Amino acid sequence: MTGVELPRHREHVLKAMRDVTAETGVRLIDVTDQPGEFANLTVEITPDTALEDNQPCVTYLDFRSEARVETATIQMRSKDTWRCAYHEAMHLMGVRGHPAGKTVLSYFPWKVDSLMPLDKVMLRAWYSPRMKGGMTPFEALPVLADELIATAADKPAATQARERFFASTVEQMQAYAAGRGDIPAIVKRSGKSTEEGIRHGRSEMSYFLGVAYFEGATVRPDQKQALTWFERAASAGNRRAQSYLAGPSR
């Protein structure tokens, strides 16, 4: 750990790291005071004038494959460390995106100084043996849903809610991929969306839907639907979709 005002922030940052690694079974060793030791994670507390107001903290992951993070760097402005530590710790563990709801990853979080139940569910799912590197969202979604159902008091009701959520999500993503739907409002509110990013997202989502229907992930297998979505993605320049059409070899 390096940077400014370390005595003020060190314990809070370390607690965030300990909490996320405890949920995932990853070993955490602090070598800040051992200059001869190699650290594959660097946490830098920057001056308040560094970074940007709309991104006061950031995590950079270096990985050769989707299955393992080789090295990582986290930067946080000193004045924002309290609210950034758990958010960036989740990203450090490979959990991407900024879902709405009661999670420290939300752009508009309910709580910032500890993990919430949904955060723990996501971490356990991310490090589940069922979760494989390179999975598409529709392949990963059932793993996440099963972890959430495992925490529910009324599991039959939670299972029914899962099926409704799956159907609604697929419908919304089909509309988005086809150009009829928009990106989530929370992303627009963050000020980080771009027209180019939205176009790229439609291509990616078309590919994801192709995989979902091809493999029966989150939806029932439907080769005709899979072909339709792969062709849409491929026509937009998506190389993975083009590879599927040429002869899938995942």
Q: pLDDT tens-digit profile of 90-131?
A: 999 999 888 878 999 998 878 999 999 999 999 999 999 999
Indicate the pLDDT class of residue 185, thresholds 50, 70 and 90: confident
pLDDT at 248 over 70: no
Per-residue pLDDT at 249: 53
Same domain, 197 and 108: no
Of 117, 150, 169, the one marking the end of a domain is: 117
What is the model's pTM? 0.85
Per-residue pLDDT at 35: 81
Alpha-helical regions (H) of the chain: 6-24, 81-92, 117-126, 137-150, 155-177, 185-190, 195-215, 223-235, 239-246
More confidently predicted of 107 and 22: 22
Q: If you write DSSP's letter for every residue of 130-165 in order, what string do you get?
A: T--TT--HHHHHHHHHHHHHHT-SSHHHHHHHHHHH
Same domain, 141 and 113: no
Q: Give the chain's mean pLDDT.
A: 93
Residues in the chain: 250
More confidently predicted of 215 and 54: 215
pLDDT at 190 over 80: no
Per-residue pLDDT at 155: 97
Same domain, 149 and 182: yes
Q: Bridge-partner residues for 3, per DSSP?
A: 45
In the chain, the number of structural domains is 2
pLDDT, tens only, 29-46: 999 888 888 999 999 999
C-alpha–C-alpha distance, residues 138 and 240, integer Å: 16
Closest to 128 measured CA to CA, from 104, 148, 106, 114: 148
pLDDT, tens only, 133-153: 889 999 999 999 999 999 999
C-alpha–C-alpha distance, residues 108 and 98, integer Å: 9
- 15-29, 63-77, 166-180, 182-196: segment of lowest average pLDDT: 182-196
Same domain, 107 and 173: no
Indicate the pLDDT class of residue 209, thresholds 50, 70 and 90: very high
Establish if 87 belongs to a structural domain. yes
Percentage of the chain lying above the pLDDT 70 cut: 98
Indicate the pLDDT class of residue 247, thresholds 50, 70 and 90: confident
Establish if 126 belongs to a structural domain. no
pLDDT at 200 over 80: yes
Structural domain containing residue 30: 2-117
- 89-93, 174-178, 180-184: segment of lowest average pLDDT: 180-184
Same domain, 229 and 171: yes
Percentage of the chain lying above the pLDDT 90 cut: 77
Same domain, 192 and 105: no
pLDDT, tens only, 55-81: 899 999 998 877 788 999 999 999 999
pLDDT at 250 over 70: no
Establish if 125 belongs to a structural domain. no
Same domain, 111 and 170: no
Establish if 129 belongs to a structural domain. no
Of 66, 83, 117, the one marking the end of a domain is: 117
Per-residue pLDDT at 95: 93
